[in-house]
Structure 1
Amino acid sequence: VDGALVYFDEMYGGRTPAEVKVIPGRYTLRIEQDGRNTSVMEVLIEPGQTQNYNLTNEALERSAGIDVMSEACEADVFLNLMHIGKTPLKRNDLPPGTHRLRLSCDGYVDRIVGVSLENKKETKVRLTLQRGDTLTYYKDPNYVVLDWTWHDVSFYTALTSLFFYAGYWKYRVQGNQTMDSIRRSFPQTAIWDIYKNATDPEGLTRFATLYQLEKMSSNRRDADIYYRYSGGSAVLGITSLFLAGYFVYLGLSADEREGGEIISSPLRYYVYSNPMEGTGIGLTYQY
């Protein structure tokens, strides 16, 4: 059948009729197409040879039935991606197997469940829709900015606290060095005063003393500025650590909403929504 998907193990090879070049070796050849059975064959690809394989995908019998009813509104019903009608709905020409069933109605949250359909049997589905916005309801609360979760934000906030910690010590050391320069100025001033008082007690002594005092005052002001920067860095670092812990708490308390459950099947569907992968349906197996 033309248009079927061709896979060698999990490697996609195109659509039939397909000519695929693969590395020699043993593969599981799989042919898939909607509405038909999946054909599987173990093949051995020899080097330097062209090998032909003809697989037949028989059409699935479409006699599975479903009876869907919803409260509050006449909802659009989708089986996988195909619109099959509005509630109340009865169909007996659907393909068997496990499918995603979605009910959608303006002003209500979409209800998504999994259904397991069998030929010549009718599966009853009774669902209640609640008012609200679908995207808001199913959005994963862990994602804060783009693809950053609360845990990512917490981690980088904690790293930021290290930056502020380094700033604290940098300005602290600069302030201490500036204060040390003031202390070294005192003996120099005293020696200068003794010398000038002995040689020129009126003019140069007064100038030198005032200059030294102004220099010490300037250094003290610089030291105060460094200490203020150091204190500000310490406050910001402590705040960053507090915020990192709070973001961890938000990440742990954020719950993931499930989009529904399989009826008469051990499989469960769930809805995911994030900036990297978009919005979609996942499938898990319940033991």
Structure 2
Amino acid sequence: MILRFPKKFCAVLALCGFLALPQGGTLWAVDDYYDFPGISSREKIEFERERKLCFFPLRNITGDSNLDFYSAGYASVLYSGLKSVVQIYDENALPTVIQHSFGKQDASPVSSLKEDEWDGEKLNRLKEGKIPLSVKKDPRYLSLRSEPFESESAPDESAAIPLAKKNNCFYTVTGEFERSSQEELKIRIFLRSFKDGSKKAFSHKTSIRRSYQEMNPLVVELKNFVLGKSTLRLSVRSESTLGSLVFLDGNYIGKTPLVRDDILPGLHEVRVTRDGFDDWKGDVDMRTSSKEIQVQLFREKKEGLLSVTSDPPGATVYFGSQNLGVTPLTKVPVKVGWNRLRVAKEEYVDSLKGVEIKKGENSEISVSLKKGDSVSYYKNKKYVFMDHTYDDFAIYSLYGTLLFYAGYYYFNLKADSVLEGARPMTNAMTLTGLASLAQSSPNLNTFTAAYLYQYNIFSQAEAKANYYRDLGGVFSQQRGFHGGFMLYGIAAMLALSVTFYWLGLDSETLDVGVAPVKTPYFVKGLENRPETETYARFNYRF
């Protein structure tokens, strides 16, 4: 008892601490003490956005194994009929996350709902039709993704639900078929929903011979049930651009010309796209009636926008070699890609910038100019040369070298091919061929005529080959060096490349000088001077 007394006494003191000191005071509420209402957030609900529809083979209960192929075949036909359904409607879509508020419920919440956030009150107003929303933002419209599982064995009643959980299926289509007469089959389809565990049954009779062709009524009945609402007709046509892709609320639904009779009513977003053309986008009101859309796609312009401001204003803007005008410039169309921007104003130093233009985007450039002269400011003269640098021309010359080398290779290859083509007809130009011709010739006249004929062919081929080699030139260990137009062009381009690069060098790029030898101790040389060495180094600036 002695040990317990202090604990009880402390508890009484702590309880009294919550009592108001003035007479008539009350016990403080926890909400008032911690200000829960002040830091609370209102209820928020996040909804599902997609459901998966799975098709499994049907069980063959006819007792005839010859009809087993229909098991996976029926599943394939049902999948083919419903795979085009990409959007369904459920008035009571399932919430995935519910964030409950705490504190006093009548208190004003700290945070308000954004446009795409939901609570119970806002959802009720949506269902009452007081909030007009596009289908893309309405949580009652869900994307549907269909997937066949034809390789699975046909599940029975007990295996259907575990199989659906394994494959993450919201809806499962299973069933069975049996022979109702000698030439007739009865098909029963079961559509299970993960939402409430319900099972909807569909039945259909078909002939054995035309079983697949006669399943359309069953497909239509199943599709209408999955859609969850009556549908309307949407027609999309595009002049001179047939085969354009059509997207409805972000879901691909086909190519133009397109006619779909299974579009849910609502405010839809339609996009028509095709490579090489600008997309067509539009909002289509299909709340009460079907719609026909005629769109025209225009050739894609690979352009972006450029806005330039300068301090002071009134400077001339050059985009590469193109004069864009005087600052300030606002959203001037220019070609996409990297280019050099030069902002120039008299009595100010030119500002040079690299700028990347992206298609459909506005690149904003702000430049502050300095007082001065551009030529004296940019001591390295390679930065000012007809809006191209000496380095640019050095690179261009290297490209020219490659072109001349391609010509050199081509003409030499052509010369070799001419000689190779004539070789089978000029055997007498070799010692073995000449001996063979002499043995096969009956007399001297025949030998002479055959030899002269082959010699004439050889001479013409050799002259043509020499002509090609004169154009290309020869440069090899076996044949030595024989100048030609292409070889001279290669040499000229290399010389120009070196020349342009050298012209772009100056004291800021190439540093040449003399420095003491880097040794632990300076060695005294002639006239009592430290030993030195000359040096040359490049200053790379990026």
TM-score range, shorter chain: 0.3 to 0.5
Higher relative contact order (CA 8 A, sep 6+): 1
TM-score, with length taken from structure 1: 0.37
Look at both structures and tell me which one has the larger radius of gyration over its CA atoms. 2
TM-score, with length taken from structure 2: 0.22
